[in-house]
Structures are given as structure tokens and as C-alpha cells.
Amino acid sequence: MHTTTAPNAAAPTRSRACDTQGDFLLQPPDPAERVPCRVDPVDLRRLDLLALLTAAGIAPSAGDRAAIDRLSVLPGSVHTALRRWLEQAYGFCR
């Protein structure tokens, strides 16, 4: 049985930097200490295409990886058209 008692003068007060479970929250990261990282647009298009196919209910087969990689290398305008066609054909919006 868990009982709750009212705080008294002897009980330590909690810091504002902790949540209700007693865990202390971390300070936000310092932007000056972040490691610069840029994701290649080809990788972004590949991940976006995989997510789009999955959302459309089309699970890429093992042999589809090469085709997805080749499509991802094409310009962004081709990828945008492909995405638009899939969204229209499968009736969903992202």
C-alpha cells in the first residue's frame, strides 16, 4: 500500500529541473557544440521513397533495393513526380 503524506519542514524540496518521477531533466544541448552533419539528398530521397512505399502498403522486396537506389539518384523533380503519382494512386496524403 502506498501512502502519501503532506510535505513538512524537514522534507527536502525538489528542484524545478526534475519531473514527477524524480528523474532529473537534462539541459538542452549547446548548438555551438553540435557536430555538423549533412545528409546527402540521394539518401533522403531513398529513405523518403521507402517510407512512401511502406505507407502505400507496398513492401519492397529484397530485389527492389537496386531499383530504389537507382530511382533515388534521379533529380529531385523526378522524385517529386513519383511521390505525387504514388500518393494519387493509393489515395493518401503525407
Note the pLDDT tens digit of each residue in 10-52.
544 444 555 556 677 888 888 888 888 888 999 999 999 999 8
Give this prediction's pTM: 0.57
- If one counts every other C-beta atom within 10 angstroms of the C-beta of residue 16, the result is 6
- If one counts every other C-beta atom within 10 angstroms of the C-beta of residue 75, the result is 10
Using only C-alpha atoms, what is the Rg of the chain? Answer: 25
Q: Could you tell me what percent of the chain has a pLDDT over 70? A: 73
